[in-house]
Amino acid sequence: MKVLMLSKACLVGSYQTKLEAIARHEDIDLTVIVPPVWYDPAGPVTLERAHTEGYRLLVDPIRFNGQFHTYYFPKLKQRLTAVRPDVVHIDEEPYNLATWLALRQAQAVGAKSLFFSWQNLRRAYPFPFNLLEKQVLNKIDYAIMGNQAAADVWRQKGYRGPLRIIPQFGVDATLFQPPEQRDPGRGFVIGSANRRLVPEKGVDLLLRAAAKLPGVWRLHIAGDGPERPSLENLARQLGIWDRVQFDGVVTSAQMPGYLQQLDALVLASRTLPNWKEQFGRVLIEAMACEVAVVGANSGEIPNVIGEAGLVFPEGDEQALHQHLHNLMQSPTLRDEMGRNGRQRVLDHYTQKHIADETAAVYREMLNSSS
């Protein structure tokens, strides 16, 4: 079976371990097309050739780079003619031009196609995107949803085809693993790891909750963005500037080592009218490193953590403080949560697990008579 995947997300080196895992299935001949760079609002994401064994990684230019709704691959038609895939995996939302064009071009060469969606809020898009969305929902062969809320949204919006809930990426548990040891004399180390520092990530709440902690502790904040200056000012106002370290953007290659230094990872997301947490990938990365995780009950976070971590009502500073205080006072609790978290990742969220489920979708599509 020949599979062609389009994915700007697979520029990230650690994400490519899923591609290698898919390619290990002997019945799948995988080709992946990525752009050389994606101009994300948080900054350019350039191609990392980190895990490229067993499949072909092609780099093609895109038009309207950085424009989420209107970008597309102008060379796709030629690639489809050369590869002649059985399945085209469009790693993109159904209301975007890239998806609509890829669907039409896949149909032209007799290939079946699927889209992927994280969209967990029901939104109405203006013309022409509402028309593109409607046509994709009616003509696509399959849909993969990153969470249950996305499945609910697209059913409500009229998608009637087959779907499966599979997170976009899992974790390579050989890269994200616990350190050999953590120095107990260094104090309690809390972390927050988001690419962008924006209000919805709730880092201000974490600063306020941590400021009340007694004893020896420090807080590492990864990421950059418009909120950083105000967060730095808040740390000064709270009198904890000497305990807080702003580390900037941490690359995917650096993330395992960054998380391994922590005793607790906090994702304090807050739901906004136009956003709620779609998954919280850093949670499973931290869990794989046997780091205790604490998350707000925004969007998919409680489902990701399950019984393997601590959840608090979003916006509840005192509840977050209490969770951190309990973890700080009990190394036993931290260790137990760390072990449970890694086991949850091994059971549900490894790249191999995600790849196996994705490969099963390809086979289901190929065997379908519709």
Domains located in the chain, CATH noted = 2-170+350-367 (3.40.50.2000), 184-348 (3.40.50.2000)
247-267 average pLDDT score: 94
Cα distances from 244 to residues 203, 239, 264, in angstroms, run 12, 10, 14
pLDDT per residue over 197-224, tens digit each? 999 999 999 999 999 999 999 999 999 9
Q: How confident is the model at residue 14 (pLDDT cuts 50, 70, 90)?
A: confident
Arithmetic mean of pLDDT, 271-287: 94
Which tens digits make up the pLDDT trace of 343-352?
Answer: 999 999 999 9
Per-residue pLDDT tens for 74-108?
A: 999 999 999 999 999 999 999 999 999 999 999 99
Q: What is the pLDDT of residue 370?
A: 55
Q: Which of 74-78, 247-251, 264-268 has the lowest mean pLDDT?
A: 247-251
**Entry pTM:** 0.87
- Token match 């050739």: residue? 49
Please give the Cα distance from 65 to 72 (Å, whole number).
Answer: 8
Query: Percent of the chain beyond pLDDT 90?
Result: 91
Specify the pLDDT at position 36.
98
Whether residue 252 has pLDDT greater than 60: yes
Lowest-confidence range among 91-95, 185-189, 283-287, 357-361? 185-189
pLDDT for the residue numbered 308? 97
Q: How far is CA 162 from the centre of its chain?
A: 23
Q: What is the mean pLDDT of residues 305-323?
A: 97
